[in-house]
């Protein structure tokens, strides 16, 4: 494996990310992100869920840090959406807990075929002994089942169920932005020992596929900020690709 060349490419990605800056979502919704994180860190139920995540058994690029970030940002999206829709605060805590649990557990079977279905079944099993009302358990399980892009979404007439599902989806797809090219890509190449030439051969096609994610965001918040996440990620990806092309021309 070309470790020194991969280190060079990773540095290219990090420099590009620093130059481009963070997506606007983080500056405009610092309060909601802070509230979601505070709830996440204070919840004993969240702590219990974390005990079911074994880093060694998770997909290398979708480990605990990924799941935690999705959980926190899904919570922030839910808070934004509830405020913009004028929803009452009566069930806010339960809804926030539901979407954060869904975020933590959504990739628990990421390495398996049809992982949303496998993950939803595992989440249902895990939550069986949790002191949550049945409706919120259903929201969590359905959200995990619905979090894959370009797959049929299980519809529901239950607006809270759809909200949890859509917030999880959008937070997960935010990861196709800068995170994908500054973190995820390198975890994959290292874990699976991907030769640089192989990465280069497939890279341009992969970039084109990622661009399609921009059209799939489900909440108003996701549609407002998600395309910028993807755009920034693709800009970083294109810089990586140019650097790889230069390296390939010299070898």
Please state, in angstroms and rounded to a whole number, the distance separating the CA atoms of residues 117 and 121.
6
The DSSP symbol for 89 reads: S
Indicate the SS3 state at residue 111: coil
Q: Does 51 have pLDDT greater than 70?
A: yes
Residue 94, pLDDT score = 96
Catalogue the long-range contacts made by 14-20 (C-beta closer than 8 Å, 24 or more residues apart): 14/182, 16/181, 16/235, 16/236, 16/239, 16/240, 17/178, 17/181, 17/182, 17/232, 17/236, 20/178, 20/232, 20/235, 20/236
Residue 162, pLDDT score = 94
Residue 19, pLDDT score = 97
Domain ranges of the chain: 1-21+177-251, 24-172
Q: Where are the beta strands (DSSP E) in the chain?
A: none
Q: Please write the tens of the pLDDT for every residue from 23-34.
A: 999 999 999 999
The structure's pTM equals 0.95
CATH class of 24-172: mainly alpha
Residue 157, pLDDT score = 66
Tell me which residue has tokens 């979601």.
36
Mean pLDDT within 3-27: 95
Average pLDDT, the chain: 94
Instruction: Identify which of 246, 226, 114 has the alpha carbon closest to the alpha carbon of residue 179.
Output: 226
The band of 1, judged by pLDDT with boundaries at 50, 70 and 90, is low
- Percent of the chain at pLDDT above 90? 84
The band of 141, judged by pLDDT with boundaries at 50, 70 and 90, is very high
Q: Please write the tens of the pLDDT for every residue from 214-248.
A: 999 999 999 999 999 999 999 999 999 999 999 98
Handedness of CA 30, 31, 32, 36 (dihedral sign): positive
Q: Please write the tens of the pLDDT for every residue from 197-212.
A: 999 999 999 999 999 9
Torsion region of 4: left, alpha or beta (phi above 0 gives left; psi -120 to 50 gives alpha) = alpha
């Amino acid at each position: 494996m070309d470790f020194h060349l991969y280190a060079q490419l990773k540095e290219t990605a990090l420099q590009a990310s620093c130059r481009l800056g963070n997506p606007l979502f983080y500056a405009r919704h610092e309060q909601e992100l802070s509230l979601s994180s505070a709830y996440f860190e204070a919840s004993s139920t969240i702590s219990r869920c974390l005990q079911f995540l074994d880093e060694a058994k998770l997909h290398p690029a979708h480990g605990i840090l990924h799941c935690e970030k999705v959980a926190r940002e899904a919570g922030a999206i839910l808070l934004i959406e509830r405020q913009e829709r004028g929803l009452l605060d009566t069930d806010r805590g339960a809804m926030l807990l539901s979407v954060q649990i869904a975020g933590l557990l959504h990739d628990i079977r990421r390495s398996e075929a049809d992982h949303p279905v496998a993950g939803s079944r595992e989440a249902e099993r895990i939550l069986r002994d949790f002191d949550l009302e049945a409706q919120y358990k259903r929201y969590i399980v359905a959200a995990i089942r619905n979090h894959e892009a370009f797959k049929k979404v299980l519809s529901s007439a239950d607006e809270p169920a759809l909200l949890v599902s859509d917030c999880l989806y959008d937070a997960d797809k935010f990861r196709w932005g800068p995170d994908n090219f500054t973190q995820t890509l390198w975890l994959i190449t290292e874990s699976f020992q991907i030769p640089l030439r192989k990465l280069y051969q497939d890279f341009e096609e992969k970039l084109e596929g990622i661009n399609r994610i921009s059209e799939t965001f489900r909440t108003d918040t996701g549609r407002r900020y998600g395309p910028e996440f993807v755009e920034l990620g693709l800009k970083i990806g294109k810089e990586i690709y140019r650097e790889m092309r230069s390296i390939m021309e010299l070898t």
